[in-house]
Amino acid sequence: MDKVMSNKKMIALYVLPSLLLILAVVYIPIVLTGYYGLNEWNGIGSMKFVGLDNYQRLLKDSVFWDSAKHSLLLAVFSLISLIVYLAIAMVLAAKLRGANLFRKIYLIPMLLSSVAIAQLWLKIYHPTSGIMNTLLESLGVDNPPAWLAEPSLVLFALFIPILWQYAGFYILIYYAALKNIPTSLEEAAKIDGATSIQIAYKIKLPLVMEVLKVTVVLAVVGSLKYFDLIYVMTNGGPNGASEVMASYMYRTAFKSYDFGYGSAIGFALLIICLVATWVIRKLTETKDTIQYS
Amino acid sequence: MSVGQMDAGAMSPKAAFAQKIGYAILYIVLIAVAVLQLFPLVWLLLFSLKNNQEVFNLPPFAIPTHPRWENYQKVWEAGNIDVYFLNSVWITVVSTLLTVVLASLVTYAITRMKWKLSSLVLGLFMVAMMIPVHSTLIPLFSMFNDVNLTDKPASLILTYVAFNMPITIMILLGFYYALPKEVEEAAVIDGCSVNRMFFRIVFPMTSSVIATTAIINMIYNWNEFIFVNTFISSDKFKTLTVGVQNFIGQYTTDWGAIGATLMISILPILITFLFLSDRIVEGIAAGSVKG
């Protein structure tokens, strides 16, 4: 058995194509992003090495820091909404009839393309014929705002469809984790006279902690690198009011043809995401994980 | 007797009433969330069947008396939607097949074969999941330029396979670890080669998890936008996401046409979900929790 299963040629044949592909498409570009950031380059002509100029420019670039602030704000909103999703998942997991159907309905927006969702929400926010303002007008609101054209509102108007799209995803994850808790624990607590709120807070929450940590990383990093809906719906506008890091990178490279500076932004985005992951893991580190199986 | 029944038996009528109210509130919350998730899509379906006059003058959720199916016919015939649609189909299928087969080979080598670098290689695949795709975009664009792959479907297939490989391996790993090894051990004793064992025994045994990963891959590939938007410029190679985006640009004022275009782009996913929702739910849950 061992001899057949440690045949070097076979192992290479099975692993190398995928390994080379992922090195070429994921890892080499990451290194190159950092390197391009050290150059002045319009994407076609020759590169000119400028050392840390682009990175110094980045540190002083208020547009970049504003976009970072917007990305961070999205991360904060995503974190707050996780609490709501967890609460909904707890309700779903409380042996209600139809729970399975509900969680499937909730998931539908996540399966659709961001472009379709973005185009749909552009229509929802349409100042005169969109469903948002038609509803507000029928509720008696005079002059409802032109959501995506208001610099003070646009960011929050964009957060709604983003959270809408991912709600079902997080509810599904929490639901799966809650369903993993053996019912015997809950029953024992009930016999001891625990209320459902005590059960939720003292028993269920600690047991889904590991999953919670994973979703916190997913939500924060996903928000920091968020791009799709914002790019299609406002492209960072009006006047930069909804610019996020990834959209700023994209605009700098593929619209202004400043590939060097765009790469520096892309590299900063990578570092920020990795640091955020590391910090969250450190902050939520626990000495012993609770076993319940 | 279960605990629940014991509780109910011991409850006063007042407490039982309170419990019923409690359940009613829970259901109202759940239904409200479901309505929030579905109403935008219902509204989309309705305005895809209306003309502008009906969109502007009727209440938003009024059902059109004469559903205008011709909106769908119009957009299907007018632009390149049929070309985009076919591109989406074949690029999605080819990328998914490649990902699933390559990821299965890697997972097999990692879980069954003995080699020193196995955990390092697994680590490389897993860490790749944390890399934001946007940070790779500029170098990928210039690398594909250098090898004449920009504006070719191959650039999409290569990136889709590479970026979906880690999550596919992750879902497969759990299944491979749980798979009993007795059959394979017996096969080796009978002198079966590694290839034969993989393709004739292991690959067929994993068909259910392969179906799950394939569906997840298809959804991701079907919806992918940023790579198509960056790498592809010819209309004949664009997929539905970018095609829809450009197409709608020409129709900014024709709501029915926009609605119909969007419906055409999301229908394949909705139909798949209708028939395979359990597998999709399972795949998404499996692909996230372990991350």
SS3 of chain B = CCHHHHHHHHCCHHHHHHHHHHHHHHHHHHHHHHHHHHHHHHHHHHHCCCCHHHHHHCCCCCCCCCCCCHHHHHHHHHCCHHHHHHHHHHHHHHHHHHHHHHHHHHHHHHHHCCCCCHHHHHHHHHHHHHCCHHHHHHHHHHHHHHCCCCCCHHHHHHHHHHHHHHHHHHHHHHHHHHCCCHHHHHHHHCCCCHHHHHHHHHHHHCHHHHHHHHHHHHHHHHHCCHHHHHHCCCHHHCCHHHHHHHHHHHCCCCHHHHHHHHHHHHHHHHHHHHHHHHHHHHHHHHHHHCC
- Supply the pLDDT for residue A231: 93
Q: How confident is the model at residue A287 (pLDDT cuts 50, 70, 90)?
A: low
pLDDT band at B197 (very low <50, low <70, confident <90, very high): confident
| CB atoms B280 and A107 under 8 Å | yes
Residue showing tokens 């946007």: B134
pLDDT-based confidence at B4, cuts 50/70/90? very low
Contact A6 B115 (CB under 8 A): yes
- Quote the tokens at residue B132: 């934001």
Euclidean distance between CA atoms A156 and A74, whole angstroms: 9
Which DSSP state fits A148?
G
Is it the case that residue B2 has pLDDT exceeding 80?
no
Residues in chain A within 8 Å Cβ distance of B141: 43, 254
Q: Determine which of A153-162, A281-290, B101-110, B243-252 has the lowest per-residue pLDDT on average.
A: A281-290
CB-closest option in B138, B140, B158 to A21:
B158
pLDDT digits (tens, 9 = 90+) for A209-252: 888 988 999 999 999 999 999 999 999 889 899 999 999 999 99
Minimal-distance CA residue of chain B relative to A85: B33
pLDDT of residue A289: 58
Mean of all residue pLDDT scores within chain B: 87
Tell me, what's the pLDDT at B149? 93
At a CB cut-off of 8 Å and minimum separation 6, what does B44 contact? A120, A123, B259, B262, B263
Q: Give tens-digit pLDDT for A119-128.
A: 899 989 998 8
Angstrom distance (rounded) from CA A122 to CA A109: 15
Q: How many Å lie between the alpha carbon of A190 and the closest alpha carbon of chain B?
A: 8
* pLDDT bucket at B288, cuts 50 / 70 / 90: low
CB B29, CB A212: distance < 8 Å: no
Cβ-based neighbours of A84, under 8 Å, separated by 6 or more: none
pLDDT at residue B92 is higher than 90? yes
C-alpha dihedral, B62 to B67 to B68 to B73, nearest 10°: 130
pLDDT of residue A201: 80
User: Model confidence at A138, in pLDDT bands (50, 70, 90)?
Assistant: confident
pLDDT band of A291, cuts 50, 70, 90: low
Q: Could A25 and B265 be called an inter-chain contact, meaning their C-beta atoms sit closer than 8 Å?
A: no
Highest mean predicted confidence (pLDDT) among B88-102, B105-119, B230-244 = B88-102
- pTM beyond 0.80, yes or no: yes
Which residues in A lie closer than 8 A to residue B99 (C-beta atoms)?
A: none
Distance CA(B96)–CA(A23), nearest Å, equals 19
Sign for the pseudo-dihedral over CA of A260, A261, A266, A267: positive
* Minimum distance, in Å, between the CA of residue B128 and any CA atom of chain A: 7
Question: Could you give phi then psi for residue A125, rounded to 5 degrees?
Answer: -90, 5
Least Cα distance to A115 among A218, A222, A231 occurs for A231
Q: 3-state class of A208 per DSSP?
A: coil
Picking from A1, A121, A177, the nearest residue to B185 by CB comes out as A1
Closest residue in A to B144 (Cα–Cα): A25
Q: b/e string for B37-54 if b means 16 or more Cβ within 10 A?
A: beebbebbebbbbbbeeb
Close Cβ partners of B72 (under 8 Å, ≥ 6 residues apart): B48, B260, B263, B264
pLDDT at A27: 96
Residue A86 Cα, gap to closest chain B Cα (Å): 13
- Average pLDDT score over residue span B239-245: 89
Complex confidence, ipTM? 0.88
Question: Band of the pLDDT at B291, cuts 50, 70, 90?
Answer: very low
| Residues of chain B above pLDDT 70, percent | 95
Per-residue pLDDT, B11 = 67
Interval A262-277: pLDDT, tens: 999 999 999 999 999 9
Q: Do B132 and A270 touch (CB under 8 A)?
A: yes
- pLDDT for the residue B5: 42
Q: If you ran DSSP here, which 8-state letter would residue A39 be given?
A: E
Mean pLDDT for all residues in chain A: 89
Cα gap B254→A98, rounded to integer Å: 39
Tell me the pLDDT tens digit for each residue of B22-65.
888 889 989 999 999 999 999 999 988 888 888 777 777 778 88
Contact B60 A250 (CB under 8 A): no
State the Cα torsion B36-B41-B47-B49 to the nearest 10°: -140
User: How far, in Å, CA of B165 to CA of A121, rounded?
Assistant: 31
Instruction: Give every CB contact of residue B108 below 8 A, 6+ residues apart in sequence.
Output: A14, B176, B198, B202
Say if residues A20 and B106 touch (Cβ distance below 8 Å).
Answer: no
Stretch A89-99: mean pLDDT: 85
Crossing angle between the packed helical segments B118-127 and B153-178, to the nearest 10 degrees: 120
Task: Considering only residues A293 and B52, tell me which one the structure prediction assigns the higher pLDDT.
Answer: B52
The answer to whether residue B279 scores a pLDDT higher than 50 is yes
Interface A-B, measured as beta-carbon pairs within 8 A, has a size of 272
The residue to which tokens 């990136």 are assigned:
B159
Q: Which residues pair with B175 in a beta bridge?
A: none
Which residues from A are below 8 Å from B248, CB to CB?
Answer: 119
Over 60: is that where the pLDDT of B218 sits?
yes
Residues of A in contact with B135 (CB under 8 A): 29-30, 33, 266-267, 269-270, 273
Per-residue pLDDT of A2-18, as tens digits, reads 677 778 888 889 999 99
Q: Answer for the pair B238, B80: CB distance below 8 angstroms, yes or no.
A: yes
Q: How far is it, in rounded angstroms, from Cα A175 to Cα A89?
A: 5
Comparing alpha-carbon positions, the chain A residue that sits nearest to B258 is: A119
What pLDDT, on the 0 to 100 scale, is given for residue B76? Answer: 87
Question: A62 near A51, Cβ under 8 Å?
Answer: no
